[in-house]
Amino acid sequence: MQTNTSILTFPNDLPRAVSLIQSGECVAVKTETVYGLAADASNENAVKAIFKAKGRPASNPLIVHIASIDDMEKWARDIPERAYLLAKHYWPGPLSLLLKKQPWVSDTVTGGQDTVVLRIPSSDDFLALIASSGRGLAAPSANKYKFISPTNAEHVLASLNGRISAVVDGGKAEVGIESTIIDVTTDTPLILRPGPIDHHSLSVVLGCDVKYKNDGGVTVPGSVLQHYQPNTPVKLLSRTELESKTFSFEEGVISFSPMSLSVMQDNHIQLPSTPAEFSQSFYDALHQIDKKRLTCVFIEALPNTDAWLALNNRVSRVAAS
Reference 142, options 49, 44, 54; nearest CA is 54
What angle in degrees, to the nearest 10, is found between the helix axes of 275-292 and 153-160? 40
What angle in degrees, to the nearest 10, is found between the helix axes of 81-90 and 199-206? 120
Task: Give 159: exposed, middle or buried? Use CB within 10 Å, 0-12, 13-18, 19+.
Answer: buried
Binding-residue pattern over the window 137 to 176 for ligand TXA, x denoting contact by CB under 6 A: --xxx-----------------------------------
Nearer to ligand TXA, 107 or 243 (CB): 107
Q: Which stretch binds ligand TXA (CB under 6 A): 29-37, 80-88, 262-270, 272-280?
A: 29-37
Integer distance in angstroms from the first to the last C-alpha of the chain? 32
Reference 182, options 89, 112, 109, 104; nearest CA is 89
Residue 224 near ligand TXA by CB under 6 A = no
Residue 212 near ligand TXA by CB under 6 A = no
Residue 211 CA, distance from chain mean position: 21
Judge whether 60 is annotated as a binding position: yes
Residue 223 near ligand TXA by CB under 6 A = yes
Residue 122 near ligand TXA by CB under 6 A = no
Residue 222 near ligand TXA by CB under 6 A = yes
Judge whether 139 is annotated as a binding position: yes
* Binds 29: which of ligand TXA, Mg ion, none (CB < 5-8 Å by kind): none
| Contact (Cβ atoms closer than 8 angstroms) between residue 147 and residue 131 | no
* DSSP code per residue over 155-211: HHHHHHTTTSSEEE-----SS-SPPEEEE-SSSS-EEEE--SS-HHHHHHHHTS--E
| Element (DSSP H or E) covering residue 240 | helix 239-243
* Binds 263: which of ligand TXA, Mg ion, none (CB < 5-8 Å by kind): none
Judge whether 119 is annotated as a binding position: yes
Binding-residue pattern over the window 283 to 302 for ligand TXA, x denoting contact by CB under 6 A: --------------------
* DSSP code per residue over 139-153: --BSSSTTBPPPSSH
Strand-pair partners of 297: 234, 252
Instruction: Report the C-alpha gap between 241 and 238 in whole angstroms.
Output: 5
Q: Restricting to residues 237-266, which ones interact with ligand TXA according to CB under 6 A?
A: none
Q: Restricting to residues 123-142, which ones interact with Mg ion according to CB under 5 A?
A: 141
Judge whether 65 is annotated as a binding position: yes
Instruction: Report the C-alpha gap between 171 and 114 in whole angstroms.
Output: 36
Q: Which stretch binds ligand TXA (CB under 6 A): 6-14, 107-115, 231-239, 251-259?
A: 107-115
Residue 106 near ligand TXA by CB under 6 A = no
| Contact (Cβ atoms closer than 8 angstroms) between residue 203 and residue 62 | no
Nearer to ligand TXA, 94 or 189 (CB): 94
Residue 185 near ligand TXA by CB under 6 A = no
* Binds 62: which of ligand TXA, Mg ion, none (CB < 5-8 Å by kind): ligand TXA
Q: Which of 220, 237, 264, 296 is in the footprint of ligand TXA by CB under 6 A?
A: 220
| Contact (Cβ atoms closer than 8 angstroms) between residue 243 and residue 275 | no
**Binding positions for ligand TXA, rule: CB under 6 A:** 31, 33-34, 36, 60-63, 94, 96, 98, 110, 113, 115-117, 119, 121, 139-141, 178-179, 181, 220-223
In the annotated binding site for ATP, the residues are 56, 60, 115, 141, 149, 193, 228
In the annotated binding site for L-threonine, the residues are 33, 65, 119, 139, 179
